């Protein structure tokens, strides 16, 4: 790999780093019971939510920030963060959305409009800092019995559902960041698909962080009743800033008997500059419960942004014959660090899981895969297969694999494969001897390496993801 090419890597630009000028209403800096009451009041939530948030906050005060991840970063000062920020003007409908915010989403390529026909469209829940500014296709989906709205609206309009499922997969005591999220979460999406309904369009939410020093605490909850199906995708970006910004999210999925949930993430938070200054700290807890027999949950993630990624989308395979899948592609360049992976907990009989993790590291980027496969004593005939492949570009980056297996059942099968390859001089020369430039060579290798995961993204987003990949590795991917 020539120096010139490596330098081009450094010069990659973050295209979504612009800021939106809009008047914001924010909570005072710092975290206290007052902050939590402020958020609760702003959101006009029912009383049970305040109890839940405060319980989480008091529990959080007893917890310590985890240090086991293979990540190095300066300590986070939780009293310097702004926990709530909302644009002052809130739209009542599609027509009266703030033009500045509309422009922002246009620039991001997110359509905030609706068409008459449902084929080939994507419904969007647009979240700007701490609030959902708009959810499209809400009414049309309602005709099918599907609820798709922001979690804030759900606490008011469907309190019974929220009360029943919120924290049922990720309890408020789960871990340091999930507990913090439970105390202060601002917005996210709520999806409820009734029995037997197949959601005909892709649902999505787009998270945008805008206000300086404001953290974003996304909370998403998806419930798929018996025999239903839903596919959901989450996208994210943030302005370029010199300070680090915190994003601590919790996502919970519940799939009942014969239900299927596909959840995809295209994460493109601001990664920091080429010297490692700024960038989003992304600490996320995502977990799905395959509660019913024959249910299926698949996670697909494309992680290209953030300075720090700490994220392990997991499945609890409780129902018999249930299936959990995890497809991940994490790309780190400059000084980005990612510690990501999954947990597959096999509780039911004949449960299956599949893990495919690919990482690409360039410059000083560092990627770690961390996985846990656990098969309990009664989970007869369960199967799990994992594969972790790492691709290194240049001499200074790193890839690490930390697989962990706990199998307490003799009739189950668990397999693991891992590989690491480096794009070295010999490979580049081989391809150049066949008429390809150095940039074309790297692009071909990366696209070949990442194909298996990109193919798992919903069709509507595959092209977008490819584009993102080429922006992220710009310079090497010509």
Q: Please report, as ranges, the residues that interact with other proteins according to CB under 8 A.
A: 389, 391, 419, 421, 425-427, 429-437, 440, 444-445, 448-449, 451
Closest CA to 472 of 2, 1, 6, 14: 14
Question: Quick one: 32 or 421, whose CB is closer to other proteins?
Answer: 421
Sign of the Cα torsion 390, 279, 104, 187 reads positive
- Residue 186 in contact with residue 171, Cβ under 8 Å? no
Question: Quick one: 315 or 423, whose CB is closer to other proteins?
Answer: 423
Minimum distance between the CB of residue 403 and other proteins, rounded to whole angstroms? 19
Tokens of 314: 């997991």
Tokens of 10: 């450094």
- Residue 4 in contact with residue 11, Cβ under 8 Å? no
Minimum distance between the CB of residue 430 and other proteins, rounded to whole angstroms? 5
Minimum distance between the CB of residue 329 and other proteins, rounded to whole angstroms? 12
Tokens of 434: 């066949």
Question: Quick one: 102 or 387, whose CB is closer to other proteins?
Answer: 387
Minimum distance between the CB of residue 429 and other proteins, rounded to whole angstroms? 5
Minimum distance between the CB of residue 292 and other proteins, rounded to whole angstroms? 36
CA–CA dist 38, 148 (Å, integer): 26
Which residues are CB-contacts of 367 (< 8 A; sequence separation ≥ 6)?
330, 332, 337, 338, 340, 359, 360, 361, 390, 397, 398, 399, 400
CA–CA dist 206, 474 (Å, integer): 24
Question: Quick one: 259 or 453, whose CB is closer to other proteins?
Answer: 453
Give the DSSP H/E element, type plus range, for residue 359.
Answer: strand 352-362
Minimum distance between the CB of residue 437 and other proteins, rounded to whole angstroms? 5
Question: Quick one: 290 or 393, whose CB is closer to other proteins?
Answer: 393
CA–CA dist 468, 152 (Å, integer): 30
Question: Quick one: 376 or 431, whose CB is closer to other proteins?
Answer: 431
Question: Quick one: 213 or 420, whose CB is closer to other proteins?
Answer: 420
CA–CA dist 54, 60 (Å, integer): 10
Burial 22-53 (b: 16+ CB within 10 A, else e): bebbbbeeebeeebbebbbebbebeeebbebb
Question: Quick one: 411 or 419, whose CB is closer to other proteins?
Answer: 419
Question: Quick one: 107 or 432, whose CB is closer to other proteins?
Answer: 432
3-state secondary structure of 281: strand
CA–CA dist 401, 390 (Å, integer): 9
Minimum distance between the CB of residue 457 and other proteins, rounded to whole angstroms? 17
CA–CA dist 264, 235 (Å, integer): 9
Minimum distance between the CB of residue 450 and other proteins, rounded to whole angstroms? 8
Minimum distance between the CB of residue 257 and other proteins, rounded to whole angstroms? 38
Give first-to-last CA distance, the chain, whole Å. Answer: 15
Question: Quick one: 432 or 467, whose CB is closer to other proteins?
Answer: 432
Minimum distance between the CB of residue 447 and other proteins, rounded to whole angstroms? 8
Instruction: Please state, in angstroms and as integers, the Cα–Cα distance from residue 175 to each residue in 66, 181, 308, following that order.
Output: 8, 10, 17
């Amino acid at each position: 790999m020539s120096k010139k090419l490596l330098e081009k890597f450094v010069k990659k630009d973050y295209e979504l780093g612009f800021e939106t000028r809009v008047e914001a209403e924010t909570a005072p800096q710092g975290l206290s019971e007052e902050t939590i009451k402020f958020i609760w009041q702003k959101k006009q939530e029912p009383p049970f939510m305040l109890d839940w948030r405060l319980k989480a906050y008091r529990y959080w005060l007893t917890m310590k920030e985890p240090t086991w991840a293979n990540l190095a970063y300066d300590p986070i000062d939780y009293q310097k963060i702004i926990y709530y920020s909302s644009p002052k003007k809130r739209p009542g409908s599609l027509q009266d959305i703030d033009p500045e915010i509309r422009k922002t989403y246009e620039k991001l390529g997110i359509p905030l409009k609706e068409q008459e026909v449902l084929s080939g469209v994507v419904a969007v829940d647009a979240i700007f800092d701490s609030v959902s500014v708009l959810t499209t296709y809400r009414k049309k989906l309602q005709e099918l019995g599907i609820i798709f709205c922001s979690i804030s609206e759900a606490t008011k309009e469907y309190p019974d559902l929220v009360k029943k499922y919120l924290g049922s997969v990720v309890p408020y005591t789960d871990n340091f960041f999930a507990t913090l999220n439970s105390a202060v979460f601002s917005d996210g999406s709520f999806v409820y698909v009734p029995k037997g309904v197949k959601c005909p369009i892709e649902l999505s939410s787009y998270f945008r962080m805008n206000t300086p020093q404001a953290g974003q605490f996304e909370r998403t909850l998806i419930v798929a009743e018996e025999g239903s199906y839903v596919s959901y995708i989450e996208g994210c970006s943030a302005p370029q800033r010199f300070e680090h910004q915190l994003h601590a999210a919790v996502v919970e999925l519940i799939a009942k008997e014969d239900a299927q949930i596909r959840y995809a993430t295209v994460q493109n938070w601001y990664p920091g500059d080429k010297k490692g200054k700024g960038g989003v700290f992304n600490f996320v807890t995502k977990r799905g419960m395959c509660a019913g027999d024959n249910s299926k949950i698949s996670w697909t993630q494309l992680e290209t942004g953030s300075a720090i990624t700490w994220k392990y989308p997991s499945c609890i395979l409780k129902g018999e014959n249930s299936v959990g899948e995890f497809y991940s592609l994490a790309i780190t360049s400059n000084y980005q660090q990612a510690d990501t992976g999954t947990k597959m907990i096999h509780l039911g009989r004949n449960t299956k899981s599949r893990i495919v993790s690919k990482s690409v590291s360039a410059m000083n980027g560092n990627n770690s895969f961390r996985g846990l496969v656990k098969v309990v004593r009664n989970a007869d005939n369960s199967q799990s297969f994992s594969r972790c492949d790492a691709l290194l570009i240049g001499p200074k980056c790193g890839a690490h694999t930390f697989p962990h297996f706990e199998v307490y059942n003799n009739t189950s099968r668990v397999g693991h494969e891992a590989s690491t390859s480096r794009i070295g001089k010999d490979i580049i020369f081989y391809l150049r001897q066949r008429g390809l430039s150095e940039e074309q060579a790297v692009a071909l290798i990366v696209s070949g390496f990442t194909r298996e995961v990109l193919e798992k993204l919903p069709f509507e987003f595959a092209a977008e993801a490819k584009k993102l990949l080429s922006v992220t590795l710009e310079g090497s991917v010509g």
